[in-house]
């Protein structure tokens, strides 16, 4: 009996269970933040009846979505129609596996964690495509194709900008990246002019947040690939979007802002169980700060038009991310970083 193996499997099962349990409450919290922050910026109250200060509003939204009638268009492809929301949600949930919460509290610390993360996130594209196609609605199909095009185009600058960080660190594993930041300062400063802004813009486009949310715009002609979905199926898409927001913020924090490390005056990392709690605290603080910024952007900015969006991805972000890559590589070789 290999006790280490059993311990490893047990830890893995525990971690994945916790993560799966974590996704829905995360979505609820992010939605609640969005409701209240947008309301505050628009000089109004926001939900304030359900629970103290309206705190349970998003939870009730979740239950409402469960209670709605589940309709499938008559001539939709039932199997694909059913699978599409699962794919999108699974992409979000699976990518939670490598999110570095605290030292030693990563569910699965792969040595190729970064690659795994972006690969799994790309699964949501497939889910959207299938959703658009399976709805038997030409507007959904067009919307699905557009959103797939948008997400695929922005994946390239997204991943290329991360390669700069990887070159600096010399490893693809998240814990190694954070350890490098502990030693050398946060990657933000190393990647400030190009890497981080590109990553930020591309991440917003990747998760379809304003200003890049043309596909789910209300005043657009079509409601996008989710038109025919109702009830819990729509709920999956809806929650997946907010979980993806959380995950993307957390990865940004991990890659550029030190992950679980505390900022300068505080000690970067403590050890033992207190160290885990300390890391979790700083991690969540930073992640929710970025979630707040994303919501802030949503309140303030109008939408970018689809063709301008794609133009930006291919004509601006892609060359800039390549330049960033070369410059980082040159700097690493020249300065022996």
Partner 1 sequence: MTRTAEPDPRIRDPIDLERVEEDRLRAVAGLAPAPRTGTEYAGFDLVGIPDRPPETEREREMFTLEEGEMLVNMGPQHPSTHGVMRLVAKVRGEVIVDIDPVLGYLHRGIEKLCENATYTTVLTYVDPMDYLSTMHNEHAPAIAFEKLFGVKAPRRAEYIRALVVELNRVFSHGLMIGFLALDMGGITPILYSFINRDEIVDLLSAISGQRMLFNFFRVGGVNWDVNDEFLSRLGTWHSRALKTVTDNERLITENEIFKARTKGMGALSGQQAIDHGVTGPNLRASGVPFDVRKAHPYSIYPELEFEVITQQSGDVYARYLQRIAEIKQSMHLIDQIMDRMPHGAVQTQVPGIIRPKPGRAYAAIESPRGLYSVYAISDGGPNPYRFRMRDPSFISLQVMPLLMPGHLLADTMAVMASIDPVMGGVDK
Return the residue of 34, 155, 213, 228 that touches partner 1, per CB under 8 A: 213
Should residue 183 be labelled a site residue for partner 1 when binding is judged by CB under 8 A?
no
Site for partner 1 in 2-41 (CB under 8 A): 38, 41
Q: How many helices (H) and strands (E) does the chain have?
A: 13, 0
Q: Are 150 and 212 in contact (CB under 8 A)?
A: yes
Return the residue of 68, 184, 305, 315 that touches partner 1, per CB under 8 A: 305
Site for partner 1 in 193-212 (CB under 8 A): 210-211
- The nearest distance, CB 138 to partner 1, in angstroms, is 9
Residues 216-255: x where in contact with partner 1 by CB under 8 A, - otherwise, as a string: -xxxxx----------------------------------
Should residue 327 be labelled a site residue for partner 1 when binding is judged by CB under 8 A?
no
Looking at the Cβ atoms of 221 and 334, the one nearer to partner 1 is 221
- C-alpha 264, offset from chain centre: 26
Stretch that binds partner 1, among 129-137, 180-188, 225-233, 304-312 (CB under 8 A): 304-312
Half-sphere exposure of 331 (CA within 13 A, CB side): 13
Residue ranges of the alpha helices (H) in the chain? 3-41, 57-67, 78-95, 113-121, 123-134, 138-169, 174-184, 187-190, 195-206, 231-256, 272-300, 306-311, 318-335
CA distances from 2 to 5, 6, 7, 44, 109 (A): 5, 7, 9, 60, 21
Nearest partner of 33 among 331, 291, 321, 322, judged by Cα: 291
Looking at the Cβ atoms of 34 and 155, the one nearer to partner 1 is 34
- The nearest distance, CB 316 to partner 1, in angstroms, is 12
Return the residue of 13, 112, 301, 333 that touches partner 1, per CB under 8 A: 301
Matching residue, tokens 């569910």: 107
- All residues at 6 or more sequence positions from 299 whose CB lies less than 8 Å from its CB, including other chains: 37, 38, 41, 42
Return the residue of 299, 310, 322, 327 that touches partner 1, per CB under 8 A: 299
Should residue 334 be labelled a site residue for partner 1 when binding is judged by CB under 8 A?
no
What residues make contact with partner 1 under the rule CB under 8 A? Answer: 38, 41-44, 210-211, 213-214, 217-221, 298-308
């Amino acid at each position: 009996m290999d006790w280490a193996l059993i311990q490893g499997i047990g830890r893995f099962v525990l971690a994945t269970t916790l993560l799966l349990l974590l996704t829905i409450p995360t979505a609820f919290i992010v939605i609640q933040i969005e409701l209240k922050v947008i309301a505050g910026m628009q000089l109004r109250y926001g939900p304030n009846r359900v629970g103290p200060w309206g705190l349970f509003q998003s939870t009730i939204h979740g239950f409402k979505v469960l209670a709605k009638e589940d309709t499938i268009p008559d001539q939709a492809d039932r199997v694909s129609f059913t699978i599409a929301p699962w794919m999108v949600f699974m992409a979000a949930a699976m990518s939670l596996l490598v999110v570095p919460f605290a030292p030693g509290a990563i569910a699965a610390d792969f040595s190729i964690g970064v690659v795994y993360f972006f690969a799994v996130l790309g699964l949501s594209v497939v889910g959207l495509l299938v959703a658009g196609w399976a709805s038997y609605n030409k507007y959904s199909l067009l919307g699905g194709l557009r959103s797939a095009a948008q997400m695929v185009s922005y994946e390239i600058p997204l991943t290329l900008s991360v390669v700069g960080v990887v070159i600096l660190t010399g490893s693809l594993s998240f814990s190694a990246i954070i350890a490098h930041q502990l030693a050398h300062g946060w990657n933000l400063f190393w990647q400030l002019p190009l890497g981080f802004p590109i990553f930020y813009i591309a991440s917003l486009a990747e998760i379809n947040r304003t200003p890049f949310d043309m596909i789910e715009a209300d005043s657009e002609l079509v409601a996008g690939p989710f038109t025919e979905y109702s009830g819990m199926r729509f709920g999956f898409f809806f929650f997946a979007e907010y979980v993806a927001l959380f995950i993307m913020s957390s990865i940004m924090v991990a890659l550029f802002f030190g992950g679980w490390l505390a900022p300068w005056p505080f000690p970067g990392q403590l050890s033992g169980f207190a160290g885990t709690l300390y890391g979790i605290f700083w991690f969540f603080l930073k992640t929710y700060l970025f979630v707040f910024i994303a919501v802030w952007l949503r309140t303030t900015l109008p939408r970018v038009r689809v063709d301008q969006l794609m133009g930006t991805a291919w004509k601006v972000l892609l060359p800039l991310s390549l330049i960033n890559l070369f410059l980082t590589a040159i700097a690493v070789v020249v300065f022996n970083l």
